[in-house]
Amino acid sequence: MRQSFDETTDPSYGPRHLPLIRRAMADQGLDGFIVPHEDEHQNEYLPAANDRLAWATGFTGSAGAAMIMTDKAALFVDGRYALQAPAQVDQDMFEIKDLMDGGVPAWIEATAKAGQVLGYDPRLHSPDSLAQLEAAAVKAGASMMAVSDNPLDAAWGTNRPAQPAAPVVPHTLQYSGEASAEKRRRISLAMNADAAVLTAPASIAWLFNIRGGDVIRSPLPLGQAILRKDGSADLFLDPAKITPGLTKWLDADVALRDPSDLQGALAKLSNQIVSIDPAQSSAWYFSQLETAGARIYRMPDPTALPRAIKNVVEIAGARAAHSRDGAALTNFLHWIVNQNGPIEELAAVAQLEAFREATGVLKDLSFDTIAGAGPNGAVVHYHPTIKTSRAAQDGDLLLVDSGGQYLDGTTDVTRTVSIGTPSEEMRQRFTLVLKGHLALARVRFPAGITGSLLDALARGPLWAQGLDYDHGTGHGVGSYLGVHEGPQGISKRAGGAPLQPGMIVSNEPGYYKTGAYGIRIENLQVVTQPTEIAGGERAMLGFETLTLAPIDRKLIAVCLLTAEERAQLDAYHARVLAEIGPQLGADARAWLEQVCAPL
HSE, side-chain direction, 13 A CA sphere, residue 410:
24
Collapsing DSSP states into helix, strand and coil, what is residue 535? Answer: coil
For 120, 300, 503, 518, 525, the CA distances from 496, given in Å and listed in that order, are 29, 11, 13, 28, 18
Q: CATH number for the 309-591 domain, one of 3.40.640.10, 3.90.230.10, 3.90.550.10, 3.40.50.12780?
A: 3.90.230.10
First CA to last CA distance, the chain: 39
- For residues 545 and 525, is the Cβ–Cβ distance under 8 A? yes
**Where do the structural domains in the chain lie, given as residue ranges?**
15-159, 169-307, 309-591
- For residues 595 and 553, is the Cβ–Cβ distance under 8 A? yes
Q: b/e map of 88-105 (b: 16 or more CB within 10 Å)?
A: bbeeebbebbebeebbbb
> Topology of 15-159 in CATH?
Creatine Amidinohydrolase; Chain A, domain 1 (3.40.350)
Query: Which pLDDT does position 47 carry in this prediction?
Result: 86
Low-confidence ranges of the chain (pLDDT < 50): 1-12
Q: What share of the chain is helix, strand, coil (3-state, %, to 5)?
A: 40, 20, 40
267 secondary structure, DSSP code: H
Q: CB count, 10 Å around CB of 146?
A: 14
- Helix and strand counts by DSSP (H, E) for the chain: 19, 29
157 in the Ramachandran plot: left (φ > 0), alpha (ψ -120 to 50) or beta? left
Query: Which pLDDT does position 15 carry in this prediction?
Result: 65
Q: Would you say the pTM of this structure is higher than 0.85? A: yes
Dist. CA 479–CA 497, nearest whole Å: 18
308 secondary structure, DSSP code: H
| Distant-in-sequence, close-in-space partners of 585: CB < 8 Å, separation ≥ 6 | none
- For residues 488 and 503, is the Cβ–Cβ distance under 8 A? yes
Has domain 169-307 been given CATH number 3.40.350.10?
yes
Query: Which pLDDT does position 13 carry in this prediction?
Result: 53
287 secondary structure, DSSP code: H
Query: Which pLDDT does position 14 carry in this prediction?
Result: 58
Dist. CA 396–CA 422, nearest whole Å: 7
Collapsing DSSP states into helix, strand and coil, what is residue 532? Answer: coil
Query: Which pLDDT does position 62 carry in this prediction?
Result: 80
Query: Which pLDDT does position 4 carry in this prediction?
Result: 40
Dist. CA 382–CA 411, nearest whole Å: 19
Q: CB count, 10 Å around CB of 389?
A: 17
User: Given this chain, do its domains 169-307 and 309-591 carry the same CATH topology?
Assistant: no
Dist. CA 154–CA 27, nearest whole Å: 10
The burial class, CB within 10 Å (0-12 / 13-18 / 19+), for 588 is buried
**Distance from CA of residue 248 to its chain's centroid?**
32
For 343, 379, 401, 411, 416, the CA distances from 374, given in Å and listed in that order, are 11, 10, 14, 25, 11
- For residues 489 and 505, is the Cβ–Cβ distance under 8 A? yes
